[in-house]
Structure 1
Amino acid sequence: MGKGGGCVPSKKKDANRGVASAPIPADDERLLTEPNAAAETTTSAPISKLRIFIVFYSMYGHVEGLARRMKKGVDGVEGVEGILYRVSETLPSEALEQMKAPPKDDGIPEITAEELPSADGLLFGFPTRYGCMAAQMKAFFDSTGQLWKEQKLAGKPAGLFVSTGTQGGGQETTAWTAISQLAHHGMLFVPIGYTFGAGMFKMDSIRGGSPYGAGVFAGDGTRQPSETELALAEHQGKYMAAVVKRLNVA
């Protein structure tokens, strides 16, 4: 009862009157005849995916083969996509011709250091040079000085994969020596451990890869990645994607 003795109309009734008398926008009229129209409206906007950059250097295509299969693994995880990038070549074309290196795939763009912070996760692949990463990849890391100074990559998960010419040529040491690059940037190194299960214990064939990441034996350059090596690369992509999703849970 109000002070004047009259009844005060309920807010609910007023609200209902307002809704009843308000015109329905033309764009919303189909909501009256199409029950699923509202759901379609709310789900039509594209949902952004987490992005893992697969950044590699490959002279004869072995590391690129792992990278492509790794992308398949990343893309197989809902809400995550893998994007392939290559680093710039530092050798002149004359030297590459003498080394009989095949031409690069123009469909894979070169990456610059400034693009790295936009990734949610990073996978770096490269061949070995005496137990360390190839000079082309080292030159790329050397170009990230400003990112290091500002710690723009700190906290980002990162993994490694490699190629070596022989069984004792650096499948593990190449990864070990590369971890220092990640550490100085404050990145989180994500090894695969023995999560590949039985595939990590098989001894019936020659296989690259280690608990540090996928790998391939290139031999004199003519040997191509085996299905086991490619499967390990795909597993690393899936594993990395799962870790990135877990770290990005709101």
Structure 2
Amino acid sequence: MTKVLVLYYSSYGHIEQMADAVAEGARAGGAEADIRRVAETAPPEVVTAAHFKTDTAHPVIESPAALAGYDAIVVGTPTRFGRMPSQMAAFWDTTGGLWATGALVGKVGAAFTSTASQHGGQETTLFSIITNLLHQGLTIVGLDYGFKGQMGVDEVRGGSPYGATTISDGDGSRQPHPEELAGARYLGQRVAQTAAKLSA
């Protein structure tokens, strides 16, 4: 069975919800899906003062070496000034050994993100994730327009051909819309299906 890793960092729980949806989609696509998060690197006083969400059912990823055990890796983070936050970047900075040996070449990759506003760096953040995946040799799957839920301007909605997205509002009060979660599931399913075809 194809194995998919959903690897995420979430400050306030929006990306955690999207990660759960991506994993649901991967399982619907016939894959086994694990969800892991990267370690929090912000000082405890910052985490407390900023009211980060610290309760989660998902364990921290054991080590970068764990990535090699999967057929596909889907990475999700919120944005920090139009790029992935330092917590996720710090993890990828430890994967040089995997890059040097080509351990991830030929696997499937994808990305998802959240921003406070509709134009708050969704696509640049997705590309900051995708760039790392491409350097590691992964084949990228986007949120193709087979998912019609990302179309239209009748209401605020996330979604990008480069990955699944949600919009949280500046105070984090907006939770992922059902259509955005559906996009995350669609992405997870496409990743699982693509990985299965490539490994056949």
Quick one: which amino acid aligns to residue 167 of structure 2?
A: F
Assess if the C-alpha contact under 8 Å between 2:110 and 2:130 holds in 1: no
Deviation at 1:177, TM superposition (A): 2.5
Partner of 2:92: 141
Partner of 2:195: 244
TM-score (norm 1): 0.77
Aligned to 1:17: none
Consecutive unaligned residues of structure 1, counting only runs of 5 or more, are 1-48
Task: Calculate percent identity across the aligned residue pairs.
Answer: 38
Aligned length: 198
Question: What is the match of residue 24 of structure 2?
Answer: 72
Which of 1 and 2 has greater Rg?
1
Q: For residues 201 and 103 of structure 1, what CA distance do their matches in structure 2 show? A: 33
Asked if 1 retains the 8 angstrom alpha-carbon contact of 2:150 and 2:158, the reply is no
CA distance in structure 2 between the partners assigned to 1:50 and 1:157 by the alignment: 11
Aligned AA for 1:182?
Answer: L
Q: State the shift of 1:218 in Å.
A: 1.1
Tell me the secondary structure at the aligned position of residue 79 of structure 2.
strand
Paired AA for residue 51 in structure 1: K
Higher relative contact order at CA 8 Å, sep ≥6: structure 1 or structure 2? 2
Cα distance in structure 1, aligned partners of 2:41 and 2:159 = 26
Deviation at 1:77, TM superposition (A): 2.1
RMSD (Å), alpha carbons: 1.1
4+ aligned runs moved over 6 Å, structure 1: none
Instruction: State the alpha-carbon separation in 2 of the partners of residues 152 and 172 from structure 1.
Output: 27
The letter of the residue matching 2:28 is G
Question: Unaligned stretches of 5+ in structure 2?
Answer: none
What do the CA deviations read for 1:144-181 (whole angstroms, capped 9, x no partner)? 01111111111111000001111110111111222221
In the alignment, the residues of structure 2 paired with residue 153 and residue 82 of structure 1 have an alpha-carbon distance, to the nearest angstrom, of: 17
Give yes or no for the alignment of 1:104 onto 2:55. Answer: yes
Question: 1:132-153 CA deviation, whole Å, 9 max, x = no partner?
Answer: 0011000000010111111111
